[in-house]
């Protein structure tokens, strides 16, 4: 991570912020896509996240916290989108697979992997996605989830083992 870019962005440099976004955009989009299951909604959530991040970049206390900070913003944006999506019956039916009660998987996600992720609870699935898709470490995930880093590592290990067992 480029601490110089982060400090420049905190100081108000649009160019530095755009460069940071360029480094994170793919991970942000993939995370939103896995959470929301819809490419358009994922793009909108990332857009909301980037706008919110730009508006509040000056509140970032530590350049080392940038990754977890921007994923916290994205996680909140995804949660807001989910609340909006379930506001109408049509969206609720689109969001959930018929009869399964689980969020639809992104089209590019293999059925086996989607089923393995569906075996996990919401919190455990989010920890896996933040780690695998977001590239966050246990300390960064802990700051997002209000868990101890050791608890995050344990949950991640158990969740990945559960997914491996399901896939084998």
The predicted-structure confidence for 73-118, as pLDDT tens digits, reads as follows 999 999 888 777 666 545 545 545 444 444 455 555 567 777 888 8
Largest CA distance in the chain: 50
> Under DSSP, is residue 97 helix (H, G, I), strand (E, B) or coil?
coil
How many CA atoms within 13 Å lie on the side-chain side of 42?
Answer: 19
3-class DSSP assignment, residue 96: strand
Q: Which residues contact 138 (CB under 8 A, 6 or more apart)?
A: 131, 149, 150, 152, 153, 156
Q: What tens digit of pLDDT does each residue of 107-135 get?
A: 555 677 778 888 888 889 889 888 888 88
Q: Are 144 and 130 in contact (CB under 8 A)?
A: yes
Domain annotation for the chain: domains and CATH numbers? 1-107 (1.10.1740.10), 110-168 (1.10.10.10)
Enter the pTM of the model. 0.72
């Amino acid at each position: 991570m480029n601490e110089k870019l982060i400090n420049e962005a905190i100081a108000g440099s649009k160019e530095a912020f755009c460069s940071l976004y360029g480094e994170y955009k793919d991970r942000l989009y993939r995370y939103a896509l896995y959470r929301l299951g819809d490419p358009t909604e994922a793009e909108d959530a990332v857009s909301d996240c980037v706008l919110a991040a730009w508006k509040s970049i000056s509140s970032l206390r530590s350049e080392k916290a940038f990754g977890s900070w921007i994923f916290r913003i994205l996680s909140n944006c995804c949660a807001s989108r989910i609340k909006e999506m379930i506001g109408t019956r049509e969206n609720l039916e689109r969001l959930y697979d018929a009869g399964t009660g689980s969020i639809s998987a992104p089209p590019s996600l293999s059925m086996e992997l989607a089923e393995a992720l569906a075996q996990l609870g919401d919190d455990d699935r989010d920890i896996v996605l933040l780690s695998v898709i977001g590239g966050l470490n246990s300390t960064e995930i802990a700051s997002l989830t209000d868990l101890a880093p050791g608890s995050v590592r344990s949950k991640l290990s158990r969740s990945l083992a559960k997914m491996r067992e399901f896939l084998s």
